[in-house]
A and B are shown apart, each in its own frame.
Chain A
Amino acid sequence: MLKFPGIKGLFFDEELLIKQSSKGVMGISIPCSGLNSSDLKKSGRAYIDKKFVRKKAPRLPEVSEPTVIRHFTRLSSWNMSVDSVFYPLGSCTMKYNPKINECIASLGNMKNLHPLTPDFLVQPALKIIHDFNLILCELTGLAEFGFAPQAGAAGEFSGLKIIRKYFDSNGESRKIILIPDSSHGTNPASSVLAGFTPVEIKTGKDGTLNVEDVKKYISKDVAGIMITNPNTFGIFEKDIKKISGIMHENGSLVYMDGANFNAFIGNVRISDMGIDMVQFNLHKTFSAPHGGGGPGSGAIGVADFLKKYLPVPYVSFSNARYKISEDKERTIGRIAPFLCNFAIIVRAYAYLLSLGRDNISSVSEIAILNANYIKKKLGKILKDSDPFEKGLCMHECVFNDAALEKSDISTVEFAKLLIDYGFHPPTIYFPKNIHGAIMIEPTETESVKTLDGFIKAVGAIKFKIKKLKAIKSPQKTKVGRVNEVLANKHPIFK
């Protein structure tokens, strides 16, 4: 085991802060307002009708600054993170989050900028959004990006609303969005939210959509197709151009879920595949951190003929001035209260400037090489488990549980075993149409050495499987296997 990062560790236990309280203690230095002592003494009733005044103060913890620091520092040590372990979650693009981008995003004036500051004072901030937009357009071949969507699903929703508005404007009412069965769960959920009926298309044996199959679903009620490319098997939709052609011939639009853009960045323009629109998850491909579940940014990019539908407000540029504008002719409206998740865009922009034109194409190239290396090596350990053994994958690869089943072990057991070796498990049980799916995305920011360690760990698990089966893993974590059934049976929310 010595060769694996998962060795012993000392964990510190922590109680809820509310249980560590001492009456009257606090951990904040309240800014000196300069109020005189008589004003300081007054209660709320001196200013507002007593009927509004809260009688019972919220029961928050009563703790000092050092107590808070120790508490959350200890909590943080209970997390696996990209900075501490290999975190190969498929379709999540857990790449390294550059530290300089965090420094930049915390520059004092930017982070303290009120979104309704007059335009003439925020020209440099608007220029960031404008210039970042131009780069995304050049990298994709699309015409304009809107930055209002707060994360991937909001980008999807915006894109679908655009499709809807497009048909409305043409006096058509089309109800169906075609979605491959391997898609992210957000795709059908966003379609329903935008008022469409998602219709699932079965993926062919080779892991891609079959042109003939797609044709069967074509009707004048089809508004568009929502296609993840490369798809969630990590496989390039080889007939994407033909499929786009069929859709366009039918007057339908082609939406690409860009969650997996890390496979293309710097090498492939998605407009060359006939794509009309895409959302980017700036917290995936563009290196902004995931934050343990957000915040993100779900920029929505469109071809020229769809620009007028993009959400407002947006940054316009004319007469050498940047402006926050609302004048999109047929906008779908407002998606967020203000302009965009600015602090995320700053990080993504800094990332692209760091890479520059010299390095950008290496991102997808190395990501693909790493994924194929894992696919090839693991394929030898997990025998008969690669559903798409023959071809190359793109940025991620997927295995089924055939080999594991032979050893009488489930995918979830396998995932929990990996934890004790010092690796975050891959995405499991997704995509749904792969039995006991294990989906691995290494990204370009992992070394072959790290991948070798991971592959060895999988080998070790398989080799020792009988012995390991006797124990309930994970063993080395702060808590043992979490009882999720109990959590749902008797929910405790607070």
Chain B
Amino acid sequence: MNSFRYFPNSEKDIERLYRILEIKNKNELFGRIMGDIPLIDESLLETLSSCMDEKTLYRFFSDIDSNLPDKNKFSIFAGGGIYNHFIPSAVDSLISRSEFYTPYTPYQPEVSQGTLFALFEFQSMIAEISGMDVVNASMYDGAESLAEAVLMSIRLCKGNNNLILISEGVNPRFVSVVKTFIGDTDIKIENVVLDDKTGRTNIEDLKFKLKSKGKNGATVVVQQPNYFGVIEDLEELEPVIHGFNPRPFLIVSSTEPYSFGVISPPGFYNADIFAGEGNSFGNYMNFGGPLLGLFGAKKEYVRQMPGRIVGKTKDSRNKDAYSFILSTREQHIRRGAATSNICTNSSLNAVRAAIYLSLCSKEGFSEISLLNLKLSHILKEKLLKTKLFKLLYSGDFFNEFSLRILNSSVNVAKFIKEMAKREILAGIEISESDILISVTENNSLSDIDGYIKNAKAVLT
């Protein structure tokens, strides 16, 4: 036995425990429980070193950290589902309160009002931003959220739906996750192509597929703004989709809900379900996770929604109180008949988002959103002016756009690599010649000028 700092029991305490339990030692303890299953001889463990003291441990990880791209020097122009937004210190300060990060899921509402109240505010703010009636207390990430939205639309069709039409403008990573979820069923997934010129979902192709294959019900999935950055024309799409009989479900996904500070959100277009990624709201990129799945729907569908939902109620003293509601949808009650298997979600990231959006406030949110729009258009203009790129699609965009590199001797992978050596993450490869570039409020005009200067050097 030892005195490791996370174990409060002293050597004497341990001896006492053994004595009270009338057991001699560890071997007898495990032997009596497990019979002949052998015990590990921990001294023979090879992959695990001997215990690292705290100082050494911190140095070990800070060495790793210092060998990664320097956050103060590296300018990031990559998006593709996760965006580099500014995070105020107040978010980190509040979220480091262990009253927020060390409890479990709030099953006992009387001692979890802090988390429940914050999640209620989160739901309210995301409902405002997305324009949806009901928003849940979070999913894992945008991709899983979308997959769950597709499953929900299938449930709502009560077994008739066998067609999922997914626009080619939906993030391909999200589509892969949807395929993993749907893969073993007899539900068909089909693509709807994009208009070559505008980069928006091709409405004729959508009509044709709904007409020819959607007779038993269908679900249509589009992303706003889409993967290539283009703003979809939901005003035109929605009546076409909902005009079919039987009425198809419209799911609008999004990886950048910050856009809804400037453009009209899915709820304004009568979307049935909104399933997106909320990492842009006060959460770090963290090399891809954990993220924050957003999920909203029309009120009439609430009983088919996945995940936890916080509701407002009263306590025994008739004061406002909060608790999870409609839990009979969930696995811990319904087991195999639940709407989803999700249990742990992204609660803390949702609280981060609530804190962040509160700090932004009404005007700050709109202003930052507008700043994203402006800066991305400035970079686009400047890049086109170099005559080294051409715009892939003519459709309007928010903070992300796709370009073709005109110098055929430099493919995108090479361009990104060369730019990375110059401490610029230039974008994401979408094909050998096409690149997806994102600009946020974290990229200043001088970062943009740095991009131009270095792009010229790499491409000429």
With A26-B364, A115-B287, A357-B42 known to touch, is A493 a contact of B127 (CB < 8 Å)? yes
A334–B173 touching, CB < 8 Å: yes
B128–A27 touching, CB < 8 Å: no
- B349: which A residues are within 8 A, CB to CB? 291, 294-295
A-B CB contact pairs (8 Å), 27 listed: A27-B364, A73-B94, A79-B103, A89-B104, A98-B6, A116-B80, A125-B68, A150-B140, A189-B334, A189-B341, A192-B341, A236-B34, A291-B347, A295-B345, A311-B180, A333-B180, A338-B287, A350-B61, A353-B48, A357-B43, A362-B4, A369-B9, A419-B111, A424-B111, A447-B9, A488-B311, A493-B134
A361–B289 touching, CB < 8 Å: no
A316 at the A/B interface (Cβ < 8 Å)?
A: no
CB distance from A283 to the nearest CB of B (A): 7
Q: Which of the candidate stretches A132-140, A398-406, A462-470 sits at the interface with the other chain?
A: A132-140
Query: Of residues 382 to 417 in B, which have CB atoms within 8 Å of A's CB atoms?
Result: 396-398, 416-417
A376 at the A/B interface (Cβ < 8 Å)?
A: yes
B458 at the A/B interface (Cβ < 8 Å)?
A: no
Query: CB within 8 A of B121: which of A17, A43, A447?
Result: A17
In the complex, residue of chain A having the shortest beta-carbon distance to the beta carbon of B342:
A153
CB distance from B237 to the nearest CB of A (A): 13
With A336-B143, A488-B311 known to touch, is A115 a contact of B82 (CB < 8 Å)? yes
CB distance from A224 to the nearest CB of B (A): 15
- B120: which A residues are within 8 A, CB to CB? 16, 494
A214 at the A/B interface (Cβ < 8 Å)?
A: no
In the complex, residue of chain B having the shortest beta-carbon distance to the beta carbon of A48:
B396
B69–A117 touching, CB < 8 Å: yes
The proximity string for A residues 6-46 relative to B, scoring 1 for CB distances below 8 Å and 0 otherwise, is: 00000000101110010011111111111100010011100
B208 at the A/B interface (Cβ < 8 Å)?
A: no
B300 at the A/B interface (Cβ < 8 Å)?
A: no
Query: CB within 8 A of A295: which of B48, B151, B290, B374?
Result: B290
What's the count of A-B pairs with C-beta under 8 Å? 692
The proximity string for A residues 76-118 relative to B, scoring 1 for CB distances below 8 Å and 0 otherwise, is: 1111111110010100101111101011101111111111111
Q: Which of the candidate stretches B157-165, B244-252, B324-332 sits at the interface with the other chain?
A: B324-332
With A65-B90, A108-B71 known to touch, is A24 a contact of B363 (CB < 8 Å)? yes
CB distance from A342 to the nearest CB of B (A): 4
A79–B47 touching, CB < 8 Å: no
B260–A54 touching, CB < 8 Å: yes
B459 at the A/B interface (Cβ < 8 Å)?
A: no
Q: Which of the candidate stretches A156-164, A245-253, A381-389 sits at the interface with the other chain?
A: A156-164
With A53-B264, A77-B99, A493-B135 known to touch, is A338 a contact of B289 (CB < 8 Å)? yes
With A293-B137, A295-B344 known to touch, is A61 a contact of B358 (CB < 8 Å)? yes
CB distance from A4 to the nearest CB of B (A): 15
With A71-B358, A108-B71, A186-B343 known to touch, is A491 a contact of B118 (CB < 8 Å)? no
With A68-B358, A185-B334, A369-B14 known to touch, is A334 a contact of B231 (CB < 8 Å)? no
- B346: which A residues are within 8 A, CB to CB? 150, 291, 294-295
B21–A482 touching, CB < 8 Å: no
Q: What are the 5 tightest A-B residue pairs by CB atom distance, in nearest-first order?
A: A338-B288, A356-B51, A115-B288, A291-B348, A295-B290
- A161: which B residues are within 8 A, CB to CB? 180, 183-184
A487–B323 touching, CB < 8 Å: yes
B106 at the A/B interface (Cβ < 8 Å)?
A: yes
Query: CB within 8 A of A335: which of B88, B180, B336, B347?
Result: B180
Q: Which of the candidate stretches B189-197, B211-219, B440-448 sits at the interface with the other chain?
A: B440-448
